[in-house]
Every structure is written in C-alpha cells, then in structure tokens.
A and B are shown apart, each in its own frame.
Chain A
Amino acid sequence: MRVRSKRYHQLAAAAAAAAVLPLVLPSEYAIHLAVVIGINAIVALGLNLLMGYAGQVSLGQAAFVGIGAYASAILSVKAGLSPWIGLAAGAALGGLTAAVVGGPLLKLRGHYLAMGTLGFGMIVQIVMVQWEDLTEGTIGVMGIPPFSVAGLALDSELRMYYLVAASAVLAIALAGNVIDSRVGRAMRAVHGSEVAAATSGVDTARYKLQVFIMSGAMAGFAGSLHAHHAAYVHPDSFGFHYSIQLVVMVVLGGMASIWGAVFGAGAVTLIGEQLRSFQEFSTIIFGAVLVAVMVFMPAGLWRGSADLIGRLLGSRGAGGRRRA
C-alpha cells in the first residue's frame, strides 16, 4: 500500500513538473525536443513492460510506431478523417498487429526472439516502401493535419507539448497500474522463472502476448502522435536504427523501471541532439558510450551511476581505514 501511494505522489509530481516545464524551456526548439522525448517515452514505456518486466526482447518495436504513424497519416490525409480517429486507429492497429505476429513470434526465446522481431521490423519497413498506393513509398506521406481541440488546432510546439505530456503521464500511470496488479505480477513471474510461473497457474503464453499487444498499442499510439507532430511520415524513420534506439532507451534508463524508461527516452533523444554538434564523431561517441555503459553498468545509467558513486565512496572509505 505504501509503495502504491508513493507511486501516485511521484506521478502527481511528474504531472506538475510537466505542466510547468514549457515555462522554463528556453526556446521553441527546446519544447520541440520535449515533445519528441514524450513520444519516445511512451514507446519506451511499452517496450520496458515487454523487455524489462516480462523479459521478452524486441528489436522490431519501431515497426509498431511506424504502423501507428502510417495508419494515422493515411486516415487523416487520404480519407480525410479526424486525427483523433487516426490516433485511436494507430493504437488499435499497433495492438492488432502485435496480436497477430505475437502468437508465433513469442514462442521464440532469447537471441531467437531478438532475430525474429528484427526480421518482422525489417519486413514492415519494406512494406512501407513498397506499398506505394497506400504509403507513397520513399516519398512518404506529407501534409498530415494537426490535432485540434474544439476548433483549436494543436499546430504549435507548445500546444502539441501539452497533448504529448498528458499522454505520457497517462502512459506512466497505466504502466504503473499494470505492473502492480495480478496481470503485472504474472508478466514479471514469466521473466523471473517461466516454469515456476506456469506451475503457479500462469498461462505464460497468454501473458507474453498481452504485454506484447500492450507495447504494440502504446507504440502505435505514439506513432500517431509523431505523425501529427511532424506532419510528415517516411519509412526511414521506422527502421532498424530506431528499433535499436528504443532498446537503448530502455536499457540505458534501466530495465524494469518506469522512470528509467522515461529517463532513457530523454537521455537518448538529447544525446542524439547534442552529438550533432560533434558531426562525424557523434556516432563514434554514441557507440562508445553505449558499450561502456553496458559493460560497466548493466543495470542502466540511472541505477548504475548510483552504484558507481557508492562504490567509489565505499572504496575510498576502505582505503582510508587501511592507511589509518
């Protein structure tokens, strides 16, 4: 019970912080980045449910984002439907696709699951390029209208920010609720010991599929937000590279940690932006940091830095004692 009320307090604090954040952000560009972080955070939260909590790797998560983005883009541009319908359709289609491919894919484990999801992601991207009648191929879908609330178009970064921030807070609440429930415990049990979960009566295949669907729907939802924010969707945005970035967000932030996923989304997005000023060195630095973090802080940056500081302080203390 105490844990739960602490969670609600944290959530309220985060919502309040998100509400005032634009006031302290220095520029339109900074708000734009905050929007991108929020969108990534929603995807990372879903992926962390799948990877961090249920222990199932996905190297194809970008595909679900792409499916949501294209669904929303096509429905609003080609069918002239409201972006809100697109948003619902994006989430639904993301979840539905996960439901269809999840059945066979989730029978795989470890590296095999990683490769299976990778292959799935690649194929979805190829479909985006090849199904030109629907997706405009390598040109992409342009002129996607913004959301609008009661006649007010969410066409500025600030207005979009509030929609994304509210969605992200909602996603955090949702993920927290799920983790702290019978369903969430069943998912985590699958990760902890699949055989013990099954003999405790947990239908492991069913819960793996449920969490996969949930992560797919969250990714599809975020994809739709992306489409109406960027006003443009292109197959290149939803490839292997983005899938990797998403996994890195989860891992860097810390597996099985809700705030870790949000932190990871922020860190990876900002590092990506920061590194641009290093130009050709940006990929080198990103790769090197990634390897170093994984080798020395496998629990992620968040917990890892805390551990590291603790260890440094601890060893200095020990050294002092030895000298004394």
Chain B
Amino acid sequence: MPACGGRTLYAMTLPTGAQLLQYLISGLTLGSVYGMIALGFTLIHNATGIVNFAQGEFVAFGALIALSCSEAGLPMPLAVLTAMAAMTLLGAALERAAIRPARGASVITLIIITIGASILLRGIAMWQWGPDALPMRHFSSEDPIHLGPASILRQHLWIMGIVVATMLGLWLLAERTQVGKAMRACAVDREAAQLVGIPAARMVMLSFALSGMLGGLAGSIVAPLSMGQYNMGIMLGLKGFCAAILGGIGNAPGAVLGGLLLGILESLGAGLCSGMKDAVAFGIMLMVLLVRPTGLLGRRAGRGEAVG
C-alpha cells in the first residue's frame, strides 16, 4: 500500500488533466453514494434529533442482500427492490424495537443504542455472509465508456442516475404529498405538528423506514464497484456522517451537496496520496465542526444548537 507519511513522501506527484477527470468521475460516483447515506442520517435526525449510527449497516445489508439475490438468479431490478424492501422493514423494526421504548433517553444512551444495533446487525451479516468480500454483477456491461483520455464505467452512470432519480422522488414526496408535508412539519416543530393532529410517532417510524430504504438502495448500487462485505458499513456510514455534517446536518440538499463535495475531495486526496483518503473525510468533518458547525447549508443560523 503506497503511503505518504515519512519515507514514501517522494511518491507524491501532481496528477495530469486526464487523471483529474478520472478522479472527478469516481469522486462524483462515490459522492452520490455518500450523499444518499447522508440523506438517510438527515431523515432520522430531522424526525427525532437522533444520529443513527446503524445507518452504515443498512447500506451493508442492502449490498449483501442485493448481491445474494442477483447471485440466486433474480433479475437485477428485482434484486435491488428486494434489498430496498428488506431494509425498509429493518429500519421500521429498529425504530419499533429499540428507539421507541427508549424515548426521552439522554444523548449518550441514544448513541449507544444505535451503536449497539449496528454491532448486532454487523454480527448477523458476518454470520450470514461470512467475513470475505463478495462480488456483485454490474447492472449492465462492464465495458468502460471512453471519454477522451478518461473512461467511465456504466455502473458509475447507473449510480449517478439512480441517486438523481431518488433525490427527485424524495423531493416530490416532501413537497407534493400529504405525508411529506407532515414529515417536514415534524422536523420543524414536533410538538406543534402533534397539536395539529400529525401522528408524530408514525412519522418517526416512517423516517427510519425511509432511511433504511435509502441505505438499502445505496448499498445495492455501490456493491458492484466496492463488493459487499459484512463490515463495509462502518466506513460508509461514517463517511455519510461526514457528508451530512459538511452539508449541514438536518438539511436534505446539504446532505447531497456534502456527499458530492466529500466524494470529489476524497477522490482527489486519494489521488495525491492514497493512505490519506480517510483522513480527508474526517479532517473536513472536524474542520466544519470547529469553524461552522451548521455546515454549508445549515438552516439554523445560530451556533446555539451545536455550540455552547
């Protein structure tokens, strides 16, 4: 593994234009996936104020279920839909079994509950799928499309397309449907929403279900590129987290923007120095938290909520 610390520093070289384009493509792809995961965080955070540390496990399960279904001969769309459906159920079940009974618990307790859930899910994933990384077929041909000096995989296009379509769908859901409006009302002021007759408890469960579905979808579309592994959710989840903070936690467009930015920066950073790939994400997250905790598009102007 090439590293950039210490003795291998000389390996650092400036990228060419073609390489930059390549980084941009892979950055945008990865960034779309981060954005989708960040959106999952955002949905739950808005409905409950909780940061769900099991979000990454939704992604891992999505990937593993989709690849198993596809392996078993299910057509790809069906495999992806199965993964999404399963994760929707899992999200709702998590809320019902572990979050609802702990209502009113302290921040630390809630953090530990979702971390515990993530450990449990990871254990189940390892038991079911084993410790090794498993491959998944691409959605269509694996031949790359050449764009001048750079090339793009069809799967890259699939990922970006599906993420854009999903964003659009969620936007329509939030803006045009009764349920979406109710969810947004709960996010702004839960008590007031309850007063006007919105079933807040059901909205919380719905946010977990939707968030699970998003995780499942993110996992299924990324698995052909990254392979599926029981512990893939740890890093993906944490990166989604960084993206959510970068964009401004609680802000849906911010989550997507944060994801894309993070993906690109990470891809460029990794291009310069592969060992520092993860440091980019966490470094950015720290910087954002310290300089502007509300993130790029944080809608709450004050630092009050995040900072004393």
Contact = CB atoms under 8 A, between A and B. Distances in A.
Interface of A: 51, 57, 59, 104-105, 107-112, 114-116, 118-120, 122-123, 126-127, 129-134, 137-138, 194, 204-205, 240, 244, 247-248, 251, 255, 280-291, 294-296, 298
A284 to B, nearest CB: 3
A291 B122 CA distance: 14
A247 B101 CA distance: 21
Contacts of B108: 51, 57, 247, 251, 255
B32 to A, nearest CB: 22
Interface of B: 1, 3-8, 49, 51, 97-98, 101-102, 105-109, 111-113, 115-124, 126-127, 234, 238, 241-242, 245, 275-276, 278-279, 282-283, 285-286, 289-290, 293, 305-308
A110 B282 contact: no
Contacts of A255: 108
A287 B102 contact: no
A248 B114 CA distance: 12
Given A123-B286, A132-B7, A194-B308, A294 B123 contact: no
Contacts of A282: 123
Nearest to B5: A130
A288 B120 contact: yes
Contacts of B234: 240
B113 A122 contact: no
Q: Which 5 A-B pairs have the closest CB atoms?
A: A287-B120, A283-B123, A290-B116, A284-B123, A287-B119
A115 B119 contact: no
A122 B124 CA distance: 25
22 contacts: A57-B111, A108-B289, A111-B51, A111-B111, A112-B289, A114-B111, A118-B238, A123-B282, A127-B279, A129-B3, A130-B3, A130-B6, A130-B275, A132-B3, A132-B5, A133-B7, A244-B115, A247-B108, A248-B112, A283-B119, A291-B113, A294-B109
Nearest to A136: B6
Nearest to A285: B123
Contact of B6 (A57, A107, A126, A133): A133
A127 B283 CA distance: 12
A105 B109 contact: no
Contact of A126 (B238, B241, B279, B289): B279
B120 A284 contact: yes
Contacts of A123: 279, 282-283, 286
B273 to A, nearest CB: 9
Contacts of A116: 285-286, 289-290
Contacts of B122: 283, 287
Nearest to B293: A112
Contacts of B279: 122-123, 126-127, 130
A287 B282 contact: no
